Amino acid sequence: MGGRYGGDRGERSELADRVVRVNRVAKVVKGGRKFSFSALIVVGDMNGRVGAGIGKAREVTEAIRKGMEVAKRNMITVPMVGTTIPHAVEYKWGAARIMLKPAAPGTGVISGGAMRAVIETAGIKDILTKSHGTNNPINTVRATLAALQTLKTASQVAELRGKEVEQMVGKRLAAAYRGQEPVASAPQSGEVAPVGAGGARA
């Protein structure tokens, strides 16, 4: 497990995981306060599949386990071109606003915090990012996943429009795209997968 609770367990589960945040929640009940934990987890196969989930339980380890299970059920597929994303994208979720841009091989992941956890577990190796607004990791993770889900490659856009790639961008650019160069722009559409939640047992 990543984060402050240990190392990556990808060898056992074939999925990389990151603990983005663990919160202790206190509920006032008759006779005192009842404590539980909430864990935000990101999992991915490092090859274009990634998801996130929130687990709640009385113990930290159980909250993390539940978060991982929810994240696995909410995994999405991220279109990639080589080691980066096909085109730039901006997305707003609540008070979180993020921007993702493709980068040349060797650039690395220019990102931090919750956004970096999503990007790395998805297997993206070269990308530029910016985050504005809230630093709330839940909204940042949701915005990042939603942005990644809107991405489309040149061939996907051409298929949606019923055209050949050459008809849309010309032969020269089409040849570059086939050589796995990032796409300059593409429409953003489709539903997004929210961060799931797993509740604590009574």
The reply to whether 90 and 170 lie within a common domain is yes
The reply to whether 110 and 60 lie within a common domain is no
* pLDDT recorded at residue 87: 87
Domain containing 19 — which CATH number? Answer: 3.30.160.20
CA–CA separation, 69 and 112 (whole Å): 24
Give the DSSP H or E segment for 24: strand 16-29
Relative to beta strand 49-57, strand 196-198 is parallel
The reply to whether 122 and 171 lie within a common domain is yes
Last residue in a domain, options 44, 76, 108: 76
Q: Please write the tens of the pLDDT for every residue from 26-66.
A: 888 887 888 999 999 999 999 999 999 999 999 999 999 99
Domain containing 126 — which CATH number? Answer: 3.30.230.10
Contact call for residues 53 and 74 (beta carbons, < 8 A): yes
Tell me which amino acid residue 195 is.
V
- Is position 195 within any domain? no
Could you tell me the pLDDT band of residue 9, with boundaries at 50, 70 and 90? very low
Last residue in a domain, options 76, 93, 110: 76
Residues pairing with 57 in the sheet:
37
To the nearest whole number, what is the mean pLDDT of the chain? Answer: 80
Distances (CA, A) of 71 to 108, 122, 123, 182: 25, 13, 16, 28
* pLDDT recorded at residue 30: 82
The reply to whether 67 and 84 lie within a common domain is no
The reply to whether 88 and 60 lie within a common domain is no
Range of the domain at 116: 78-178
The reply to whether 155 and 82 lie within a common domain is yes
Q: Please write the tens of the pLDDT for every residue from 65-101.
A: 999 999 999 999 998 888 999 889 999 998 999 999 9
- Is position 192 within any domain? no
Give the three-state DSSP class for 70: helix
The reply to whether 61 and 116 lie within a common domain is no
Give the DSSP H or E segment for 35: strand 32-44
The reply to whether 167 and 109 lie within a common domain is yes
C-alpha closest to that of 141 among 93, 72, 177, 105: 93
Q: Please write the tens of the pLDDT for every residue from 57-71.
A: 999 999 999 999 999
